[in-house]
Amino acid sequence: MDATLELTTHGRSARTQRLFTAGLTRAALRQSFVMLRPDIQWRNPVMFVVEVGAALTLLFILRALFSGEAGPFSLGYFIALDIWLWLTVLFANFATAFAEERGRAQAASLRRTRVATPANRRRVDKSFERVTSIDLKPGDIVSVSAGEVIPGDGEVIEGVASVDESAVTGESAPVIREAGGDRSGVTGGTTVLSDRILVRIVAGYGESFLDRMIALVEGAVRQRTPNEIALMLVLTAFSLIFLIVVVPLWPMAFNAEQYMTSYLGLPNQLASLGTDVPTLVALLVCLIPTTIGALLAAIGIAGMDRALRANIIAKSGQAVETAGDVDTVLLDKTGTITLGARRASEFLPLPGVNQREVGLAAALASAADLTPEGQSIVAAVKQMGITAEAVAAPAGSSFVEFSAQTRMSGIDLADGTKIRKGAPDAILAYLCARGKAPASGVDTLIVKAAAEGATPLLVADDNRALGIVVLQDTLKPNISQRIAQLRQMGLRTIMITGDNKLTAATIAKRAGVDDFLPEATPEAKLAFLRKEQAEGKLVAMMGDGTNDAPALAQADVGLAMNSGTQAAKEAGNMVDLDSDPTKLIEVVEIGKQLLMTRGALTTFSIANDVAKYFAIVPALFAATLPWLKAIDVMHLHSPTSAILSAVIFNAVIIPLLIPVALRGVRYRPLGADALLRRNLLVWGVGGVIVPFIGIKAIDLVMVALHLVA
Amino acid sequence: MWSLPILLLVVTIALSVPLSRYFAAVMDGRLKALRFLAWFEHRLNSGEQNWKQYTVAMLAFTLVLFTYGYVVLCLQPIAPLNPLGRGILAPSLIFNTVISFMTNTNLQHYAGDQHLSNFSQIFFILPNMFLSASIGFCALTAIIRAFRGAATVGNFFVDMWRVAVYIYLPASLIAGVIYIQQGMPMTYASQQTVSTLEVGSMGTDDKGVAKPQNIIVGPVAAVIPIKMLGTNGGGFYGMNSAHPLENPTAGSNFETTFLMMIFPFTLVLMYGRMLGRLRHSVVIYCVMLAMMIGLIWWTVDWDTLRPNPAFTGTEQARDYSVAAADAPNGVRTVSLPAVAGLPVDQHLGNLEGKELRFGTSAGAVFAAITTDVTCGAVNAEHDSLNPIASLAPFAGMWLNCVFGGKGVGMINLLLFLIVGVFLAGQMVGRSPEYLGRKVGGREMKLAMIALLVHPILILGPAGAFAASDWGTKAESNPGPHGFSQIVYQFSSASANNGSAFDGLSVTYGPNDNQNPAPTAVQLDIATGLVMLFSRYLPIIAPIAMAFYLGRKKEAPASLGTMRDDTVTFGFLLLGTITVIGALLFLPVAALGPIAEQLGPIPFGG
């Protein structure tokens, strides 16, 4: 069972790798040189400008070498300048290549799970043949037994099995997959641990979810979101603006040279760095937003990567971004807000009946009821001090199962007594049908239970209603904090539930959601979603059932559970491999973090330019207007060291910020205003101050190492 | 000293609030006009226009204005009201002047009192001032309507009518009456001959009696109110608001300064009122006000409170070692000798080029304000400001949104705002939004096009002129000062400001002038083209941008959306404007005013 062994070793652990590993770094380094090819570099216009500038500088150096005259400035300065210009391009390429490589490594670790596995395909005559997963086509039906690997994505059409999905989700606890209902989806590459199931294959070889996931991770490198395209456009426009600033500096510097020459009475026109083309190229490179231009692609890829590590497959990078913009989140009550298992908490007797009688009747009615609710009733009764024997179903009794039509269950005792428990209106109708008058006080009890957010069950025997069993649904631990957090993030939370209005209202209040949709049908859910969208809001929801599919498709962010039906997974634009209902919150955070990182680094990049001016402008005119030294607040060593320091800072800030780009700026649920204030201070004001320190430090180091004249 | 600017700001702020309510009512068509005016307005209404139709109507109207202006100026020699026999202007000057007035710039390469007849003043200058001033106003209104999400942006002709007749006309009438009371001429006569008590520059006749002086007069009080209200700035006299008949008293000076500020102030609030986002517009208003206060303070502090560095001298010689390959040892020493100060009493600050009739700080205050609001009227020589003080007028024109021209200033600010929101707005963890709408690639493309125009049109021609005879022959001083003159000329043209630094020889004058400024033709044509392009692109692109943004679905605000009516947003806006502004123009500022201030005295004569 080599395949199984291998499968269990991959999973989440493989995807939570360290930021830098030797292999990745090496591959990325190689790729950064490949990306220097002009046709590839052209895709990033900002860095293409740098490349052209570096090439131009190289031409100047070559000309100086061949003609033998370096002009008024030392050749070493130009060579150093050109090296750093090339390094700037390489650093930028490295950032992109590194993010891509990480994505590829991610993909490779997933692809390893996609080995050809043997499959038992059912022939038309219902006998089974041995094939490999490569031969499977959608519609084929395969049988998978304990210990075997599921050969492809599909739906369970027969049987129940526990499945180890760790190969896909990294979660080691097995999950139950069963035919019918909303837990019928299985993923290729996962292992059946017990029992035997029949699976109808829905995706042919190479089209499974894993394949799609791999394609997406690799495709994220090339697909740019509209937001990214718009930002790249703005960055290119900024590059153009700075070109407009830098080019006229040449004639302006020429004007200053002319003047100074006549002021000093020199025979030949004076030369300054202001009319030196490589130096002006350096100024241009320092001004254009190279930092964000270099990191933009990496930020986007890292966003997809973070989603993937949270076990979410987003069908596009845009889906992740949209998650950051979501205004309204629809949360299913059961499973998301509450634990879902309702437990009996109280027995409320009707007048003339005591609590013990109610408990006993309820326990008898539940004696053969194996649902968690039924078992919780028995357990609660035992806590009242009634012995296990008393609540065991007596010999000769027969159990009446719950059905959707009768909406009640119960027991027919050997003596002919019929005990029933069920939805109050169903029980009352049952009693009516038997010609019994409705008991007074039932309504009060029902309202009382509902007001506590509980579900009431009415218990009755042959002749009369006895009392109410209160079924409480417990909130998930920490759910109110998470919802409060969502509100802090500016999101409106809507609880979707099949409960009646009163019950829903109470739970909604306890959980702290902003609004709720009671007695929700799939149609009501869809209508609610459309109404929110008509108000201009973006809506996120999670779903698993086939009847969720229309709403999942309509939602701006539709997160389908992997355990859900194929229809749901196709309809959503993200799939959660963990099938964790609280994952929506994480998705929104990842989206916000992506947008925030992009905004922060853009702001930082532009703010950086201020300091570079203070270094470069006095240096440009040091020969013509030496008194401009007064605005050189950093007191840099010499004009050439000033320019080199600025260029070096501009280059090294790129690799220094790669970790920020990949990890993302931490998102804090503070509310937009506080967040903006904080980030403006850190990345805006910080972006103005940091380069002053950085450039000065680089200058000091160069002087200390005797690298500059 | 400070009382003048403070009083001006307080009065303007106080009046802009109620006025903005009136403006919003007028532009929304809620004003009950006099019956025959309403009838006219109704006649003009050719139906609702979409943004393209509106823009085409605006451009067509401009073309008519251009043709009309050309014809009137060419008719000057044969037209009536020309007893002094003013001849036809040089062709390049006509080109420059027609564009200048059509684009609300009023850059004057001529002197009104010497080159224009009253016919030209009345039939060329006056209508242009009313109509060109209305265009920016209309464009802002169209943008507001587009932001409201309407498919149509109103009717251009109706808007023109409303602005010109319901707003400019009554305001000009009131202002004109006050001016006449202050002593401004209002006559069809062209000159008055007076006998002077003392012998003036006219000299004496054979008998030793002082020759009579000829003083040019005309319908001055008709021109000046709209010159200021419309932030036109083109003076009746060449001396502009420094001329005693164009600005007779300290009172008229206060009125003049107030008139140019009031409408740009009001329009910001009108923007908020018409969008139903008054608080947002108050934040913008405060940002603009902060910048204006800063610039006024800068000018007054460096000019009125400090002596003229040309007179104070430098006590110690300064030596600078400059690396130079052709000098011995590779180092050349540039020495600035010590210069003795001149015995001039300077406790009132720099008085060179000031009209002292108005008070010591009036010139500096006026210089800062006229460049902020792109008016371009002047009551002092900007050329004579202390070099570093002149940074403020430069900055006003470079940013072009410190209230700015009526309508256009607000539009320019929107460009900075959109860029700021787009770059920094994502830091709240949402895609950038403005007015609840997502800012996408198309809107940004249009905004960036509009934003690009201004620096190209200033830096490009300024560079070309600085490095060639075209510029160096025209400047009165070589070196940084002359450089400042060239940059100022193009900044003023591109900002559609129209003020002059002076010192640059730009005047060709009448066509038969035997001795024109050497490069007047080049400057006429270059600045003419700059004015033309810098006017319409930055208006049309934002209208299109507003349309594309406005038609997007509006999302309601929540805790997670960036609020546009907070102090934080104000700082974001202020930061965006100052950082982008500094990045665009810091090198030029260093080469011009800063180098001059720090350099040797007298730098460049």
Render pLDDT for A460-497 as a digit per residue (tens, 0 to 9): 887 788 888 888 877 877 888 888 888 888 888 999 88
- For residue A6, the model assigns a pLDDT of 33
Q: How far is CA A369 from CA A376, A377, A398, A691, B53, in A?
A: 10, 10, 12, 71, 75
Whether residue B604 has pLDDT greater than 50: no
Answer positive or negative: Cα dihedral of A321, A322, A328, A334. Answer: negative
Chain B within 8 Å of A642 (Cβ-Cβ)?
Answer: no
The answer, yes or no, to whether residue A79 has pLDDT greater than 50, is yes
Check CB contact of B478 with chain A, cutoff 8 Å.
yes
| Weakest-pLDDT range from A366-380, B66-80, B334-348 | A366-380
CA distances from residue A345 to A366, A372, A377 in whole angstroms, order as listed = 15, 13, 8
Identify the helix (H) or strand (E) that includes residue A494: strand A492-496
Between CA B497 and CA B397 the distance in angstroms is 7
Which of B451, B466, B598 comes nearest A255 by C-beta? B466
Q: What per-residue confidence (pLDDT) applies to A12?
A: 42
pLDDT of A219 = 61
Higher-confidence residue of A149 and A8: namely A149
Which chain B residues are within 8 Å of A623, Cβ to Cβ?
322-324
Per residue in A223-261, pLDDT tens? 788 888 999 999 999 999 999 999 999 999 999 998 888
Task: Return d(Cα A46, Cα A293) in angstroms, integer.
Answer: 6
Question: Is the CB of residue B20 less than 8 Å from the CB of residue B263?
Answer: no
Predicted pLDDT of residue B340: 82
* Angstrom distances, CA of residue A467 to CA of A123, A352, A362, A376: 56, 10, 9, 17
Q: Which residues contact B127 (CB under 8 A, 6 or more apart)?
A: B68
pLDDT band at A340 (very low <50, low <70, confident <90, very high): low
Buried b / exposed e across A601-617, counting CB within 10 Å, b at 16+? bbbbbbbbbbbbbbbbb
Distance CA B73, CA B94 (A): 7
Which of A572-581, A660-669, B354-363, B490-499 holds the top average pLDDT? B490-499
Task: Report whether the peptide linkage leading into residue A639 is cis, meaning its omega lies within 30 degrees of zero.
Answer: no
Q: Of A54-63, A507-516, B217-226, B444-453, which gets the smallest average pLDDT? A: A507-516
Report pLDDT for A140. 87
Catalytic residue among A164, A332, A556, A580: A332
- Give the up-direction half-sphere exposure of residue A464: CA atoms within 13 A in the CB hemisphere: 13
Give the mean model confidence (pLDDT) for residues A276-293.
Answer: 94
* Interfacial A residues in 513-542 facing B (CB < 8 Å): 535-538
In tens, the pLDDT along A607-647 reads 999 999 999 999 999 888 888 988 999 999 999 999 999 99
The predicted pLDDT at position A13 comes to 39
Q: How confident is the model at residue A706, as a pLDDT?
A: 86
pLDDT score at B553: 87
In the predicted structure, residue B545 carries a pLDDT above the cut 90: yes
Give dist(CA A210, CA A225) in Å, integer. Answer: 23
The C-alpha atoms of residue A21 and residue B79 are separated, in whole angstroms, by 86
d(CA A318, CA A573): 10
| C-alpha to C-alpha distance for A615 and A643, rounded to whole angstroms | 7
Least confident of A46-50, A283-287, B309-313: B309-313
* Residues B50/B56/B61/B65 CA torsion (nearest 10 deg): 150
Contact A683/B427, CB-based, under 8 Å? yes
Q: Which of A184-188, A314-318, B275-279 ranks highest by mean pLDDT?
A: B275-279
When the pLDDT of each residue in chain A is averaged and rounded to a whole number, the result is: 84
Residue B492: strand, helix, or coil: helix
With CA atoms as reference, the chain B residue closest to A229 would be B441
Interface of A with B in 235-254 (CB under 8 A): 237-238, 240-242, 244-245, 247-254
Give the mean model confidence (pLDDT) for residues B301-325: 84
With CB atoms and an 8 Å threshold, state whether B590 touches A627.
no
Instruction: Give the mean pLDDT of A214-222.
Output: 61
Report the distance separating Cα A506 and Cα A509, nearest Å: 5
**What single letter denotes the amino acid at residue A596?**
M
Residues β-bridged to residue A139? none
* B452 lies within 8 A of chain A by CB: yes
Residue A10 has pLDDT above 50, yes or no: no
Task: Reply yes or no on whether the pLDDT at B86 is more than 60.
Answer: yes
Residues B511-515: what's their mean pLDDT? 90
pLDDT at A426: 83
Out of B424, B430, B599, the one facing A603 most closely (by C-beta) is: B424
Read off the pLDDT of residues B24-79 as tens digits, 9 standing for 90 and up: 999 999 988 888 999 999 999 999 999 999 999 999 999 999 999 999 999 999 99
Confidence of residue B184 (pLDDT cuts 50, 70, 90): very high
pLDDT digits (tens, 9 = 90+) for A170-180: 566 677 888 87
Distance of CA A533 to the CA centre of its chain: 22
**What pLDDT shows up at residue B170?**
96
Which of chain B's residues have a Cβ under 8 Å away from the Cβ of A672? 428-430, 559-563
**Residue of A609, A625, A675 with shortest CB distance to B595:** A625
CB A199 within 8 A of CB A156: yes
CA distances to A113, A144, A167, A571 from A199, rounded to whole Å, are: 19, 7, 18, 21
**What percent of chain A stands above pLDDT 90?**
29
Q: Give the distance, in angstroms, between the CA of residue A510 and the centroid of all CA atoms in the same chain.
A: 28
List pLDDT tens digits, range A531-560: 988 888 899 998 777 777 888 889 999 998
Q: Is A476 left (phi over 0), alpha (psi -120 to 50) or beta?
A: beta
Residue with tokens 């909130």: A475
Contact at CB, B323 and A667, closer than 8 angstroms: no
Cα dihedral A613, A615, A617, A620, rounded to 10, equals: -140
Note whether B419 contacts A: Cβ–Cβ < 8 A. yes
Q: Is the pLDDT assigned to residue A692 strictly greater than 50?
A: yes
Tell me what the pLDDT averaged over chain B comes to.
92
Q: Is B34 on the interface with A (CB under 8 A)?
A: no
Q: With residue A176 as reference, give the H or E element that holds it.
A: strand A175-178
Q: Answer whether A537 sits within 8 Å of B572, measured CB to CB.
A: no
pLDDT at A170: 59
With a pLDDT cut of 90, the percent of chain B lying above it is 73
Residue A2 has pLDDT above 50, yes or no: no
Closest Cα partner for B479 from A261, A684, A396, A471? A261
Task: Compute the nearest-CA separation of A388 from chain B (Å).
Answer: 55
Element (H, E) at A359: helix A355-366
The span from the CA of A274 to the CA of A246, in Å, is: 10
Q: Is A398 helix (H, G, I), strand (E, B) or coil?
A: strand
A220: confidence class by pLDDT, cuts 50, 70, 90? low
Instruction: Please report, to the nearest 10 degrees, the dihedral formed by the alpha carbons of residues A392, A394, A398, A401 taken in order.
Output: -10
Integer angstrom CA distances of residue A232 from A239, A295, A297, A688, B445: 10, 11, 10, 22, 11
A250 and B463: CB-CB below 8 Å?
yes
Structure tokens at A203: 């995706």
Residue B541 has pLDDT above 90, yes or no: yes
Q: Respond yes or no: is residue A82 known to be catalytic.
A: no
Tell me if A625 and B599 make a contact (CB, 8 A cut-off). Answer: yes
Q: Which residue is it, tokens 């300054």?
A: A272
- Short-list B62, B466, B300, CA closest to A255: B466
Cα four-point dihedral sign B559, B564, B566, B568: positive
Alpha carbons A121 and A236: distance in angstroms, whole number: 56
B423 interfacial to chain A (CB closer than 8 Å):
yes
pLDDT beyond 80 at B95: yes
Distance of alpha carbon B425 from alpha carbon B431, whole angstroms: 7
